Amino acid sequence: MGPITNRYTELVGIDHPIVQEGLGPFRTPRLAAAVSNAGGLGTVSMPGMPTDLEAGARTFREHIEECASLTDRPFAVNIPVGVDGDGTVLPFTEVYIRTVLEARRSDTAIAQRLTVLTTSAGFPGPFIGPIKDSGLIHQHKVGATRQAVKAAEAGVDVVIAAGFEMGGHAPSKKVHTFVLVPSITEAVDVPVVLTGGARDARGLAAALAMGADGVAMGTRFITTTDNDWHPAYIQALLDAKEGDDVAFDGVYGPCRGLRNEASQQLVDASGHDTAPDGLSAVELTRWKIDSMQRAQNEGDVSGSLVLTGQVASAINELVSIAEFVPAMAEEAAQILRRLAANLGAPVAG
């Protein structure tokens, strides 16, 4: 048991209320296992949207199996609910959710470890029943209080409150964590996890003070010694300064990454009918995903999309996950104890 236990750590069965959230379309089984082994909750990310979705499903299953072979602690998977212009859910979401349910049905070792499914992007309505019936804990990431209430009323177990400073796809309402999190914790009864901008114990202590039950980080976990990201990508995040990030049109709405040639092309094209290189909408989506994967796998950090949160500007060193996660929880507990000790006695009456 860790120094900070609460209804979220008890629900999910983890030592520390610290989550490595989905980082698709990159492969994260090793990273997820390292975070779960350190007492947090790691997440296996969605593997992109290949034209051959069954091939994508096989890759996803391999990533899940790899993570289950590296940890015997609980871990999660992240599956965005992709929605097209008409509001129709894109086929990859259903295929990947089916893959997860089937992996748990067919393999008890996976079922014991893969106990949490996080949806993000669109509303997961029709998937909530099957996810819950399978015995999974369902977390859903939202960017607005109204979305949090809707998800909690529909039966989601945990809400992840995502502020606009976050890395990757960011909420279209553009509300930042400091405004969003207290509004959401006030509006729903289920556990709430802050995502966006957290990087250390101070962020965790602040999240708890705002009524949240934990933090989910992306950028901080990319800049660790325990993952498969290309070294040039990691270095670009370590080098980033305030103002080096920008929001551009991503695959499911606004997306945050480093300012470079690739993101500038999307910023320039925003609001115009012309996509970069005259691509159609479908081709443009593929271009974006290929570009993200090229940056992550090949380290092309100037000509490809380098997703990161604004918090990269404040991260200057690599950390080891095994040391970092328990130390972050311990230091957050110390901060809260110190603050409580500095308070005077309650005023009588």
Ligand X SMILES: Cc1cc2nc3c(=O)[nH]c(=O)nc-3n(C[C@H](O)[C@H](O)[C@H](O)COP(=O)(O)O)c2cc1C
Residues that bind ligand X (CB under 6 A): 21-24, 45-46, 78, 80, 120, 141, 162, 166-169, 195-198, 216-220, 307-309, 311
How far is the CA of 61 from the CAs of 27, 44, 56, 77, in angstroms? 12, 10, 9, 11
> C-beta of 312: minimal distance to ligand X in Å?
8
Residues recorded for the chain: 349
What does the alpha-carbon distance between residue 65 and residue 118 come to, in Å, rounded to a whole number? 18
Q: Which is nearer to ligand X, 2 or 168 (CB)?
A: 168
Q: Could you give the CA distance from residue 122 to residue 172 in angstroms, rounded to a whole number?
A: 11
Nearer to ligand X, 196 or 214 (CB): 196
Q: Which is nearer to ligand X, 31 or 198 (CB)?
A: 198
Smallest gap from residue 65 Cβ to ligand X (A): 19
Q: Using the minimum distance from each CB to ligand X, give the nearer residue, 271 or 299.
A: 299
Shortest Å, Cβ 78 to ligand X:
5
Contact (Cβ atoms closer than 8 angstroms) between residue 14 and residue 4: no
In the complex, minimum distance from the CB of residue 307 to ligand X, in angstroms, rounded to a whole number: 3
Is 62 or 72 the residue whose CB approaches ligand X more closely?
62
Asked if residue 18 lies in contact with residue 218, where contact means CB atoms within 8 angstroms, the answer is: no
Closest to ligand X by CB, 279 vs 314, is: 314
Please give the radius of gyration of the chain, using alpha carbons only, rounded to the nearest integer: 19
**Contact between residue 131 and residue 117 where contact means Cβ atoms under 8 Å apart:** yes
What minimum distance in Å lies between the beta carbon of 281 and ligand X? 20
Question: Taking CB positions, which residue lies at the least distance from ligand X?
Answer: 218
Report DSSP state, residue 319: B
H-run or E-run covering 169: strand 168-169
Give the nearest distance from C-beta 19 to ligand X in angstroms: 9
CA distances 207 to 275, 290, 343, Å, are: 39, 34, 19
